Amino acid sequence: MSRAERRLPVLITLLVGLMLSIMPLPDSAEPFRPDWLALLLIFWAMQLPRSWSVGTAWIVGVVLDVSYGTLLGQHAVALCVIVFITVRFHLLMRVFPLSQLTLTVFALLALYQFILFWINGVAGVTAPSITYWAPVITGTLLWPFFHMFLSGIRFRPSSGA
């Protein structure tokens, strides 16, 4: 299978992730929007750490910064760090049972949100309310389904994996 063909599914999921990240939600649901791109990057970095690692995370992060109008580089740093940790421990994470993996994802998402929070603090952006941490919870709760769904894409018979 050609290189481009192997990359296509990942690129499509990232594009869909970006769309989900900027899609309008009702005000009540807004704070609970999971960090789709963080989840996606964790998954792909775990499965294909040689093709999709910190470089991809950085580019995605910059695009996210532009879309959200946040400090240029803020999401980029946060995504870089969690993807770095994921790639570093990808072999371990692959053999984790799903429950343990979900806990790991929880920790990664919490770290991600904390880095964003911390940069906001340094830059003097107003401190948000407690719902700021909600995406960590929703992301973790979604992870098992998310993982099963993406594994379906990744290990399709036609992908030859």
Partner 1 sequence: MVASRGNNSSPARIPALGLRVIVLILVSIVLMYLDHRQNHLDGIRRGIGAAVYPVRLLVDAPVRFWAWLGESTTSRNELELELGRLQAERLLTNARLQRLTALEAENARLRALLEARTRVRDEVRVAEIMAVDANPYEHNLVIDIGTRDGVYDGQAIVDANGVVGQVIETGIMTSQAVLISDADHALPVEVNRNGLRTIAVGTGEIDRLDLPFLPNNADIRAGDLLVTSGLGGAFPSGYPVAVVDSVTRMPSEPFADVSATPSAALDQVREVMLVWSAPPVAPEDDVEEDSE
Enumerate binding residues for partner 1 (CB under 8 A): 15, 18-19, 22-25, 27, 30-31, 33, 47-51, 53-55, 58, 61-63, 66-74, 76-77, 80-81, 84, 87-88, 91, 119, 123, 125-126, 128, 132
Taking the least distance from each CB to partner 1, the nearer of 22 and 98 is: 22
**Euclidean distance between CA atoms 73 and 119, whole angstroms:** 10
Taking the least distance from each CB to partner 1, the nearer of 78 and 101 is: 78
Q: How far is the CB of 66 from partner 1 (least distance, A)?
A: 4
**Euclidean distance between CA atoms 35 and 138, whole angstroms:** 9
Cα–Cα nearest to 29, from 118, 138, 152, 142 = 138
Q: How far is the CB of 26 from partner 1 (least distance, A)?
A: 11
Q: How far is the CB of 136 from partner 1 (least distance, A)?
A: 14
CB-count burial class (<10 Å; 0-12, 13-18, 19+) for 114? middle
Cα–Cα nearest to 108, from 13, 11, 24, 41 = 41
Taking the least distance from each CB to partner 1, the nearer of 50 and 97 is: 50
161 CB contacts (<8 Å, ≥6 apart)? 154, 155
Q: How far is the CB of 49 from partner 1 (least distance, A)?
A: 6
Taking the least distance from each CB to partner 1, the nearer of 8 and 128 is: 128
